Amino acid sequence: MHENGTIFIADNDVKTRDLVSAFLTYLGYNVAVSDGKTPFFDILRKNNVDILIADLMYLQFIAPDFNDCFSLVNPQLVLIGYGDPGVSEIKKDPDIPLFTLSKPLNLDELESLVMRAREHQSMKMYDRTSKKSALHHLLSATMIGSSPPMRALFDMISKVATSNATVLIQGESGTGKELAARAIHQLSDRHGKNFVPVNCAAIPDELLESELFGHVKGSFTGAFANRIGRFEMADNGTLFLDEIGDMKANLQVKMLRVLQNREFEPVGASKSQKVDVRIIAATNKNLEELVVTNDFREDLYYRLSVIPITIPPLRERREDIPLLIHTFLTRFNADKRNAVKGFSREALSILGNYEWPGNVRELENLVERLVILKGSGIIAPDDLPEKYLSGKVPCQAPVYIPRLSPDNLLPEEGICLNSAVDEFENNLIIQALARSGGNKKEAAILLNLKRTTLIEKLKKKNLAFIED
Ligand SMILES: Nc1ncnc2c1ncn2[C@@H]1O[C@H](COP(=O)(O)OP(=O)(O)OP(=O)(O)O)[C@@H](O)[C@H]1O
Ligand SMILES: [Mg+2]
C-alpha cells in the first residue's frame, strides 16, 4: 500500500469510475468512491483525501462551492480533472493545483498524472518543512532568548515574515535589530533573493542618493559609468534601511515616493524604474520624537511603521543572560580552540545584575574577550573588566517559568517533538541554575532531581557553563 492519503474518484459514469478505481487499487493506492449518502466534502475530509480525480462537469454539479472549500478540505489536495467544459470554472482559483486528463481516459496517462500529483505534494510538503525548520533554526540557533518578550518577538517575526508589509524595527544599540531583519527575510518567500543592507548613517549624505538609487554616467563629477543602486540590487528581495533616523530631509521625500509607488529615478536619469522590494527599516532613535521635532517626516514615519517591532533592551530580559552567555561561550571556545569551562557563580551573578547599555553586542564582545584572555578554566569576578564590578550585588534576576497552555502549545505547522522537549528541558535547567545562582545542589532540589543526575544531564547537554 502506498503511503499518503486516499484518492477519491468522483464520476457519475459508473463504468469509468469503477475502471479507474480498480486500476488504482491494483497499483496499490488507497481508493474511495461515493456511497451516495455522505455529503461530498465530508467524504473528502473523513477519508483524508489528498488526490481527487473528477469529471469536472459532475464535480460542478455535486460541489458548486468547490472553489471556496478546496483548500479547507486538505491543504495537500490536488485535483486531476477530465471532461469538457468546466476547466475554466473550476480554475477560478489559481491556487488550486489542477492536472487535466483527456477523455476517453488513457490509463498510462492517468498513472503518470497520479505520480506527478504526489511529486507536487511532496514538494509542497518540503517547502512547508523547510520553512518550519528555518523558523526553528531562527529560534534556537540564531536569535537566542526564551524570555516572554523574546517569545513575543519570535511570534511577531514568524507572522510578519510571510507578508510583504514594511517593517520598522526599533531598539537600543546592540539589541539585535539587524539579526531580526535578516530573520524576517530568511523566513519570507524572498529568502532565495538578496538581502541588501544600507547603513544610512555610515554613507555621506551626498553619496547616499546614488548608493540607494544608482546613477547614470556623467550625472555628477566622479560618475564615470552607470551604476545600479541598492534598490535595484534588492529587486524581488529585501532592502534593509539601517539607521533610517539619520536620513536627511531631501532623501526622506524621495524615499516616501518609492514606498508609495515602488518607483524611483537613478541620479541623472530621465526615466523612472520599477522595483519589487520588501522594505525593513531600523533605528535606535525614537522616530516619534524626531517627528515631533520635525527631524523626520510624519508621512514617511507612517509609511515605514506599517508593522512596528521593538526589541527590548537586555536589562529588561535578564533571564536571557545565562542562555546567551552559554551560547557565546560555546561558540568562542570552538572558534578559538579554547577551553574556558564556565563562569563562577559570583561572576554570573555580577553579569546578571549589570545594566548592559550595549545590550547583546556588549555581552557577546565581553565573552569573546574573556575566552581569549583566560584561555581555560573558570571565569571569576577578578577576570571581569572594572566597570562590571562596580555594581556587585547578589543576583536577583527574575526567573521566567514557561507557561504551558495545552491549547496553543502545538504550532499550526507542527513541531519536532524531540527538539522541543529538549529545548524545554534545557530552559528549565538553565532557569533553575539561574535561580540558585549556579548552585547545582539547590538547582537539583528545584527540579526534583538528584544532584548527580543533574550533573550528568548538564554534561550530556553540554550545559556545564556555571561552576560551583
Ligand atoms: N538574541 C540574540 N541572540 C544571539 N545573538 C544576538 C542576539 N541579539 C543580538 N545578537 C548579536 O549581537 C550583535 C548585535 O546585533 P545586531 O547588529 O543585530 O544589533 P543592532 O540592534 O542592529 O545594533 P546597532 O543598533 O548597534 O546597529 C550581533 O553580533 C548579533 O549576532
Ligand atoms: Mg544594526
Name the β-bridge partners of 202.
Answer: none
Assign residue 44 the CATH number of its domain.
3.40.50.2300
Asked whether the beta carbons of 183 and 226 are under 8 A apart, the reply is no
- Are 350 and 263 in the same domain? no
- Inside any domain, residue 138: no
- Are 273 and 323 in the same domain? no
- Inside any domain, residue 136: no
Asked whether the beta carbons of 237 and 185 are under 8 A apart, the reply is yes
Question: How many domains in the chain?
Answer: 3
Determine the pLDDT at residue 464.
55
3-state helix, strand, coil in the chain (%, to 5): 50, 15, 35
Determine the pLDDT at residue 94.
64
- Are 148 and 250 in the same domain? yes
- Inside any domain, residue 432: yes
Determine the pLDDT at residue 406.
45
Determine the pLDDT at residue 152.
85
Assign residue 429 the CATH number of its domain.
1.10.8.60
- Are 380 and 419 in the same domain? yes
How many residues are given for the chain? 468
CA 279 to centroid of ligand 1, rounded, Å? 19
Determine the pLDDT at residue 364.
96
The last residue of one of the domains, among 293, 312, 331, is 312
Where the chain has pLDDT below 50, the residues are 1-2, 393-408
- Are 159 and 298 in the same domain? yes
- Are 119 and 86 in the same domain? yes
- Are 420 and 463 in the same domain? yes
Q: Which domain holds residue 60?
A: 6-127
- Inside any domain, residue 261: yes
Exposure string over 3-25, b if 16+ CB within 10 A, otherwise e: ebbbbbbbbeeeebbebbbebbe
The answer, yes or no, to whether any atom of ligand 1 lies below 6 A from the CB of 175, is: yes
- Inside any domain, residue 135: no
Residue among 361, 363, 367 whose CB has most ligand 1 atoms within 8 A, to mutate: 361
Q: What is the pLDDT of residues 382-426, one digit of tens each?
A: 999 999 987 654 444 333 333 344 444 566 556 667 767 877 787
Would you state the cell numbers that stand for residue 118, as one nine-digit string? 504526489
CB burial of residue 151 (10 Å; 0-12, 13-18, 19+): middle
Amino acid at 134: A
Determine the pLDDT at residue 95.
67
The distance between the two most distant Cα atoms of the chain, rounded to a whole number of Å, is: 88
Determine the pLDDT at residue 432.
82
The answer, yes or no, to whether any atom of ligand 1 lies below 6 A from the CB of 179, is: yes
Sign of torsion, CA 124 130 133 135?
A: negative
- Are 460 and 349 in the same domain? yes
Determine the pLDDT at residue 235.
94
The answer, yes or no, to whether any atom of ligand 1 lies below 6 A from the CB of 286, is: no
- Are 154 and 302 in the same domain? yes
Name which residue sits closest to atom 18 of ligand 1, judged by CA: 176
What is the C-alpha to C-alpha distance for residues 281 and 274, in angstroms, rounded to an integer? 20
Determine the pLDDT at residue 394.
42
Determine the pLDDT at residue 58.
85
- Are 326 and 389 in the same domain? yes
Atom of ligand 1 lying closest to residue 150 CA: 1
Determine the pLDDT at residue 221.
80
- Inside any domain, residue 51: yes
CA 173 to centroid of ligand 1, rounded, Å? 8
What is the C-alpha to C-alpha distance for residues 185 and 179, in angstroms, rounded to an integer? 10
